[in-house]
Amino acid sequence: MAKNVPEVVARRLPRYYRYLGEQLEQGVTKISSRALSEKMRVTASQIRQDLNCFGGFGQQGYGYNVYELHEKIGEILGLNDCYRIIVIGAGNVGRAVANYAGFRRRGFVIEALFDNDPNLIGGRINGIPILDASEIGAYCRENSPQIAAIAVPGHAAEAVVEELEESGILGIWNFSHADLNCGIPVETVHMSDSLMNLSYRIKNNEQ
């Protein structure tokens, strides 16, 4: 599979995946690129192009089998593997991530938080234990979580990430403002950028 897949294409897959999941729940068994495109407000061409980066999942004259396509995209996204997540930082952002259970059902599990505040260590958030930040490395080598969510201030993030990378973490889910560069995939969620963009659009909507 996989000719060189443009990033924009990969970013659209989760949306397709979610939508196909919904259709599946509603008992829809087949869908054409046209029907899909109308619901998703993109062109049918784009959907066919996107999917063909990964292989021909459809059948001419028929369309796509919803179940099969959903499965395939899930596989491409790596959702069959169960990912275990640790959260670095048990402040506001860490709490937010630990509380946000929306992604649990897709096989992502948060198994521990880390902080260096003695008042927090030993406690729990949403049932998840808060451990001592000095033990991140040891913990990772022992338990091999795949993903680390970074919820510490930007200036502290760099050092943490370096340690995590050495300890065998496979990917970073970054909630700090730091532009992390390291050898493993980093996915950054910029909540404040998102809010600033909304602010911009509100302002430029109302003149």
Shortest reach from residue 131's CB to a copy of itself, in Å: 20
- Closest by CA to 110, choosing from 122, 127, 123, 93, is 127
Rounded Cα distance between 51 and 187, Å, is 23
- From the list DNA, a copy of itself, none, partner contacted by residue 77 (C-beta under 5 to 8 A by kind): a copy of itself
Element containing residue 84 per DSSP (H, E): strand 83-88
- From the list DNA, a copy of itself, none, partner contacted by residue 56 (C-beta under 5 to 8 A by kind): DNA
Site for DNA contains 9 (CB under 7 A):
yes
Q: Is 148 helix (H, G, I), strand (E, B) or coil?
A: strand
Shortest reach from residue 151's CB to a copy of itself, in Å: 9
Site for DNA contains 204 (CB under 7 A):
no
CB–CB of 154/178 below 8 Å? yes
Shortest reach from residue 13's CB to DNA, in Å: 12
- From the list DNA, a copy of itself, none, partner contacted by residue 63 (C-beta under 5 to 8 A by kind): DNA
157, amino acid identity: A
Site for DNA contains 6 (CB under 7 A):
yes
